[in-house]
Amino acid sequence: MSETTTAETVADGAAADEAAADEAAADEAAADGAVTAPADASGLGTAITTAYSDALADVYDDIYPGTPEIAEYLVTLTKPGASVLELGVGTGRVALPLADHGFRVHGVETSEAMLARLAEKDPEGRITPVLGDLVRLDLERTFDVVLAPFNVLCCAMTVDEQIAMMHAIARHTAADGHVVIETFDPSDHHVQRKADVTTRPAGTRGVVIESLEVLPASQNMLLNSTLFLDGAAPKSSSTVMRYLWPSELDLLAAIARLELVARYSGWQEQPFDGGDGRKMCVSVFRPLA
């Protein structure tokens, strides 16, 4: 984790000198090859999602299976050894297979517990971790691919946060690069009127019960996870997400001057027709000239 920078808050004009000094230090660090992240937005959505991720980091890989197919898809999309910025890198479930395929990966994450798990799984430091809020991220460089897998855009609570995320995505994408965003078609959730309860096995450790409630007016989802692990007393943690339709994603992308070039219902480029049972939505964008 030595290359991870801790975000700071620059509140007002009185802190301008301090900010200038930070900027100079950041430039110096960048010249040394270290990673820098800007001041943290620390909005309510970020605080809630960080607390939730901190609570789940230890069990995350037991709940969610690996997805090597994302790396296999990127091999078909971009050049060998391309630079990839993964937004919401979590425990490296997606990033480590990308490194296995020769990609040079930076992973942004707001949860220190998630990054600690990533560090354990990546003793060689193949992934460059960045502790920061992607709502305000500015690494002052671009990448061949900016990847937002597993609904990370929906970790935002408000449309303003999602617009800010799209601007961050656009500013980190090379002029000839690609943006790849995984979301889901929320049509079923939007008409859901009762809590939807799901049970997820957590390997040999126990079980996680998820309860999902929907507020259609704001497109928010309230997700509560209760962990029954290792025979210990159950622990609960909650977060708030904001779902968005594929057409809404295109609108946000257009605001950030990105244009849609392909949309699939899976990482094997299955056609997206809105009727796929898995409701998965993989969207590929390019910067507008």
Q: x/- binding map, residues 71-90, to ligand SAM, per CB under 6 A? A: -----------------xxx
- Cα-only R_g, the chain: 19
Q: Which stretch binds ligand SAM (CB under 6 A): 19-27, 107-115, 200-208, 277-285?
A: 107-115
Q: Which stretch binds ligand SAM (CB under 6 A): 133-141, 171-179, 213-221, 249-257?
A: 133-141
The residue within the footprint of ligand SAM, chosen from 111, 162, 219, 225 (CB under 6 A), is 111
Is the CB of residue 108 less than 8 Å from the CB of residue 85? yes
Question: Helices 112-121 and 44-56, interaxial angle, to 10°?
Answer: 40
Q: Can you tell me the distance from the alpha carbon of 239 to that of 51, in angstroms, rounded to the nearest whole number?
A: 8
Should residue 108 be labelled a site residue for ligand SAM when binding is judged by CB under 6 A? yes
Please give the sequence-ordered ranges of beta strands (E in DSSP) within 51-142, or none if there are none.
83-87, 104-109, 127-131
Nearer to ligand SAM, 146 or 152 (CB): 152
Footprint of ligand SAM on residues 32-61 (CB under 6 A)?
A: 46, 49, 53
8-state DSSP, 221: E
To ligand SAM, the closest distance from the beta carbon of 230 in angstroms equals: 22
Residue with the two structure tokens 């809630």: 48
Q: Looking at beta carbons, which pairs linking 228-231 to residues 24 or more positions away fall under 8 Å? A: 229/59, 229/202, 229/205, 230/205, 230/206, 231/206
Phi-psi region of 279 (alpha: psi -120 to 50; beta: other; left: phi over 0): left
Q: How many CB atoms lie within 10 A of CB 43?
A: 18
Should residue 155 be labelled a site residue for ligand SAM when binding is judged by CB under 6 A? yes
Nearer to ligand SAM, 151 or 192 (CB): 151
Should residue 149 be labelled a site residue for ligand SAM when binding is judged by CB under 6 A? yes
The residue within the footprint of ligand SAM, chosen from 59, 146, 152, 284 (CB under 6 A), is 152
Q: Which stretch binds ligand SAM (CB under 6 A): 7-15, 24-32, 108-116, 188-196?
A: 108-116
Residues that bind ligand SAM (CB under 6 A): 46, 49, 53, 88-90, 93-94, 108-111, 114, 133-135, 149-152, 155
